[in-house]
């Protein structure tokens, strides 16, 4: 991580920490934690939390624990435990010696529960789930005490021991904290802290327990056990803070971390709901958790987003308590900035149109030395073959220029071949149906690395040498949803109805310059004038060459063009206008 990436952001949480440090509140220590439940893959919303928690720890020379909040074995899986670690590491963060697991504390948690019972602050309740709900009251009416609320301590102790011993069926009994059934805060109306779960194998503890603690009880105590100083979570837990404090105060733990809430990220045109992302995966609406269209960290990795771009994004959006809805453009800008600076340039033709340079001697060719980055010499050079037969992109040729601004190749016109010669289109070859199948051109041999004499050629287009070209499949991605808030649209539609059916376009016959033959999976290149692409990390081994488009280039021409189309100034020139994702 670069230096300028750290130590610069400030937000209300850092202000609180600054104040705590000033008053020596935790003896100058800063310990945070990132506590995912291993029931799915991490997404961009988690990235915000990861950057916040690990970033704070880094900048205050503290530490950040990666702790799995694994108290619900019904939904969790070790596949997720592994994936989460891979993702956090890839994002660039280090959790030190080992990850933590809430399940490591099951025995301690159990003992704390017994302590609560002994204090008369918890009781075993025989009400069914439905009865518990009825007794809880509503938002505007207080709840009623459970008939089991006043069981004697000895009886509670006995019952709880037998719950643990497996004597009772699922759902027949729970352990509840005895707080206040009339509290205006529903979370304080004797919340359940332990439930019975027979017959599930926990990914960490196996079949050791048939009793599992609930989040509110587990989280604060896990934080206290680990000596966390600042427990950062999202806004929906604000109502739970009194409970967080109640358990720690009641049990008198030595350590009492401070819970601070911030608003969760909402990114337009996508989802950050783990439940819904799971649905997309399980119902095969996408290829998997790492589908390049997914807002998951694994998906963005496969797509080619650099980790530094994601960190920069998290920095740019900030941390506050206000509701937000961040535009995709911010993420895209971060990805482009990072890739523009670090991606090597290459040439690739996505929609090939054959070009023959008739003035170029038949059977000959030459190697041109071109730079890998126009602004960064340290990235070196490479050689690309030039020959008599080339491919250019169909979108770079038009028989007649639609307007004075068009500066690509037209019949009888000239254009610069990027890194090579200026050519002129002399003849158009069409098939029986009238489709253009080839261009016959001539080149100006004096224009290699030199401006043409006596005229100016404005356009520059990319190309590849036909006999040397590599054939590849290219996958073009667009946004997964066509509604800015697929999750919360007011039109009554389910988020699945907002899926963009054109989010993936596969172009099967693309031609690449030869240097791309051994492109490493995941390394992102800029295909000049097309965008950023990386070799797919799944299929690169078994299939030939498959590239994912990470991101388009900013395209002010497409913008002008679509504006013109809407105002009727010119017809459709580009059948495939570039669109940012």
Partner RNA sequence: UGGGGCGUCGCCAAGCGGUAAGGCACUGGGUUUUGAUCUCAGUAUGCGCAGGUUCGAAUCCUGCCGCCCCAGCCA
Which residues ranging from 358 to 377 are in contact with RNA (CB under 7 A)? 373-375
The distance of closest approach from Cβ of residue 449 to RNA in the complex, given in angstroms and rounded to an integer, is 4
* Binding of residue 25 to RNA (CB under 7 A): no
Q: In sequence order, what are the residues at sequence separation of 6 or more whose Cβ sits closer than 8 angstroms to the Cβ of residue 236? A: 264
What's the first-to-final CA gap in the chain, in angstroms?
A: 27
Residue 139 or 400: which CB sits closer to RNA?
Answer: 139
Which residues ranging from 295 to 334 are in contact with RNA (CB under 7 A)? 316-327, 329-330, 332-333
Per CB under 7 A, the list member of 203, 529, 535, 549 interacting with RNA is 529
Site track for RNA across 389-428, x = CB under 7 A: ----------------xxxx-------x-xxx--------
Select the span of 80-88, 159-167, 381-389, 447-455 touching RNA (CB under 7 A).
447-455
Q: Cβ distance 102 to 70 under 8 Å?
A: yes
Site track for RNA across 39-68, x = CB under 7 A: ------------------------------
Give 195-264 as a 3 state SS string.
EECCCCCECCCECCCCEEECHHHHHHHHHHHHCCCEEEEEHHHHHHHHHHHHHHHHHCCCCCCEEEEECC
Residue 114 or 326: which CB sits closer to RNA?
Answer: 326
Select the span of 277-285, 513-521, 552-560, 564-572 touching RNA (CB under 7 A).
552-560
The distance of closest approach from Cβ of residue 443 to RNA in the complex, given in angstroms and rounded to an integer, is 12
* Binding of residue 263 to RNA (CB under 7 A): yes
Residue that is written with structure tokens 């009623």 in the block: 144
Residue 69 or 104: which CB sits closer to RNA?
Answer: 69
Cα 287 from Cα 417, distance rounded (Å): 38
How is residue 77 written in tokens? 């899986």
Q: In sequence order, what are the residues at sequence separation of 6 or more whose Cβ sits closer than 8 angstroms to the Cβ of residue 75? A: 37, 39
What count of other Cβ atoms lies within 10 Å of the Cβ of residue 409? Answer: 26
Q: Cβ distance 255 to 228 under 8 Å?
A: yes
The distance of closest approach from Cβ of residue 356 to RNA in the complex, given in angstroms and rounded to an integer, is 20
Per CB under 7 A, the list member of 170, 494, 508, 509 interacting with RNA is 170
Burial per residue of 67-96, b for 16 or more beta-carbon CB atoms within 10 angstroms, e otherwise: bbbbbbbeebeeebbebbbebbeebbbebe
Return the beta strands (E) in 2-96 as ranges: 31-34, 63-68
The distance of closest approach from Cβ of residue 72 to RNA in the complex, given in angstroms and rounded to an integer, is 4
Angle (deg, nearest 10), helices 12-22 and 44-59: 20
Q: Which one from 149, 264, 354, 407 is the annotated catalytic residue? A: 264
The distance of closest approach from Cβ of residue 576 to RNA in the complex, given in angstroms and rounded to an integer, is 14
Which residues ranging from 74 to 133 are in contact with RNA (CB under 7 A)? 74-75, 127-129, 132-133
Q: Which one from 67, 173, 274, 293 is the annotated catalytic residue? A: 274
Residue 60 or 215: which CB sits closer to RNA?
Answer: 215
Per CB under 7 A, the list member of 336, 443, 468, 535 interacting with RNA is 336
The distance of closest approach from Cβ of residue 292 to RNA in the complex, given in angstroms and rounded to an integer, is 21
Which residues ranging from 266 to 285 are in contact with RNA (CB under 7 A)? none
Q: Cβ distance 47 to 310 under 8 Å?
A: yes
* Closest listed residue to residue 228, CA positions, set 262, 193, 260: 260
How is residue 103 written in tokens? 């399940």
Per CB under 7 A, the list member of 12, 79, 150, 154 interacting with RNA is 12
Residue 209 or 406: which CB sits closer to RNA?
Answer: 406
Residue 30 or 175: which CB sits closer to RNA?
Answer: 175
The distance of closest approach from Cβ of residue 36 to RNA in the complex, given in angstroms and rounded to an integer, is 8
3-class SS of residue 114? helix
The distance of closest approach from Cβ of residue 537 to RNA in the complex, given in angstroms and rounded to an integer, is 24
Residue 157 or 330: which CB sits closer to RNA?
Answer: 330
Does 8 qualify as catalytic in the annotation? no
Select the span of 6-14, 201-209, 298-306, 429-437 touching RNA (CB under 7 A).
6-14
Does 226 qualify as catalytic in the annotation? no
Separation of CA 489 from chain center: 22
The distance of closest approach from Cβ of residue 368 to RNA in the complex, given in angstroms and rounded to an integer, is 9
Q: What Å distances lie between residue 499 and 292, 366, 397, CA to CA? A: 15, 48, 34
Per CB under 7 A, the list member of 26, 442, 526, 550 interacting with RNA is 526
Which residues ranging from 235 to 254 are in contact with RNA (CB under 7 A)? 235-240
Residue 252 or 323: which CB sits closer to RNA?
Answer: 323
* Closest listed residue to residue 135, CA positions, set 189, 75, 76: 189
Phi and psi at residue 269, to the nearest 5°: 65, 20
The distance of closest approach from Cβ of residue 340 to RNA in the complex, given in angstroms and rounded to an integer, is 5
Q: Cβ distance 216 to 240 under 8 Å?
A: yes
The distance of closest approach from Cβ of residue 214 to RNA in the complex, given in angstroms and rounded to an integer, is 4
Phi and psi at residue 481, to the nearest 5°: -125, 150
* Binding of residue 146 to RNA (CB under 7 A): no
What count of other Cβ atoms lies within 10 Å of the Cβ of residue 486? Answer: 24
Residue 537 or 549: which CB sits closer to RNA?
Answer: 549
Does 76 qualify as catalytic in the annotation? no
Which residues ranging from 172 to 231 are in contact with RNA (CB under 7 A)? 172-174, 184-187, 191-192, 195-196, 212, 214-216, 218-219
Q: Which one from 5, 37, 344, 389 is the annotated catalytic residue? A: 37
- # chain residues binding RNA, by CB under 7 A: 95
Residue 297 or 417: which CB sits closer to RNA?
Answer: 417
Q: Specify burial of residue 378 (Cβ count, 10 A radius: 0-12, 13-18, 19+).
A: exposed
DSSP H helices in 258-351: 274-282, 297-303, 307-317, 328-342
Per CB under 7 A, the list member of 96, 166, 171, 380 interacting with RNA is 171
DSSP count for the chain of H helices, then E strands:
13, 27
Which residues ranging from 464 to 523 are in contact with RNA (CB under 7 A)? none
- Give the pairing type, strands 470-477 and 546-552: parallel
Residues designated catalytic: 37, 264, 274
């Amino acid at each position: 991580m670069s230096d300028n990436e750290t130590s610069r952001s400030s937000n209300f949480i850092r202000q609180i920490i600054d104040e705590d440090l000033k008053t020596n509140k935790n003896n100058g220590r800063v310990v945070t934690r990132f506590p995912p439940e291993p029931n799915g893959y991490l997404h961009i919303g988690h990235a915000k939390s990861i950057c916040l928690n690990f970033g704070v720890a880094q900048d205050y020379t503290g530490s950040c624990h990666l702790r799995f909040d694994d108290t619900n074995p019904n939904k969790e899986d070790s596949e997720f435990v592994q994936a989460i670690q891979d993702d956090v590491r890839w994002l660039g963060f280090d959790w030190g010696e080992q990850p933590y697991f809430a399940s490591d504390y099951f025995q301690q948690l159990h003992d704390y529960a017994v302590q609560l019972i002994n204090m008369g602050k918890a009781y075993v309740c025989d009400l069914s789930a439905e009865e518990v709900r009825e007794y809880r009251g509503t938002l505007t009416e207080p709840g009623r005490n459970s008939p089991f609320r006043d069981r004697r301590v000895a009886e509670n102790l006995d019952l709880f021991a037998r719950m643990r011993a497996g004597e009772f069926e699922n759902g027949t009994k729970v352990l509840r904290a005895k707080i206040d059934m009339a509290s205006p805060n529903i979370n304080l109306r004797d919340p359940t802290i332990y439930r019975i779960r027979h017959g599930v194998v926990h990914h960490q503890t196996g079949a050791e327990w048939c009793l599992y603690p609930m989040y509110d009880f587990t989280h604060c105590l896990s934080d206290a056990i680990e000596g966390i100083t600042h427990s950062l979570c999202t806004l929906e837990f604000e109502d739970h803070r009194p409970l967080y404090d109640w358990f720690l105060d009641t049990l008198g733990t030595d350590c009492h971390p401070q819970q601070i809430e911030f608003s969760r990220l909402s990114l337009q045109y996508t989802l950050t709901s783990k439940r819904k992302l799971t649905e997309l995966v399980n119902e095969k609406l996408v290829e998997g958790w790492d589908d390049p269209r997914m807002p998951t960290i694994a998906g963005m990795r496969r797509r080619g987003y650099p980790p530094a771009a994601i960190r920069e994004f998290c920095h740019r959006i900030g941390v506050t308590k206000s509701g937000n809805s961040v535009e995709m453009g911010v993420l895209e800008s971060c990805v482009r900035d990072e890739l523009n600076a670090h991606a090597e340039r290459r040439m690739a033709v996505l929609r090939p149109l054959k070009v023959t340079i008739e003035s170029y001697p038949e059977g000959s060719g030459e190697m041109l030395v071109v730079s890998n980055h126009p602004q960064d010499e340290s990235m070196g050079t490479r050689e690309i073959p030039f020959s008599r037969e080339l491919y250019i992109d169909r979108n770079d040729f038009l028989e007649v220029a639609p307007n004075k601004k068009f500066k690509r190749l037209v019949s009888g016109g000239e254009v610069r071949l990027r890194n090579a010669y200026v050519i002129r289109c002399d003849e158009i070859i069409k098939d029986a149906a009238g489709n253009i199948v080839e261009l016959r051109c001539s080149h100006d041999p004096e224009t290699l690395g030199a401006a043409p004499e006596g005229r100016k050629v404005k356009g520059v287009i990319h190309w590849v040498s036909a006999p040397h070209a590599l054939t590849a499949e290219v996958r073009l991605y667009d946004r997964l949803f066509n509604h800015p808030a697929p999750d919360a649209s007011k039109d009554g539609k389910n988020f699945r109805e907002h899926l963009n059916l054109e989010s993936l376009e596969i172009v099967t016959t693309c031609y690449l310059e030869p240097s791309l033959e051994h492109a490493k999976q995941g390394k992102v290149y800029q295909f000049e004038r097309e965008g950023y692409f990386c070799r797919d990390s799944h299929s690169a081994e078994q299939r030939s060459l498959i590239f994912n488009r990470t991101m388009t280039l900013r395209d002010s021409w497409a913008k002008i063009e679509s504006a013109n189309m809407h105002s009727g100034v010119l017809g459709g020139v580009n059948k495939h206008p570039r669109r940012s994702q």
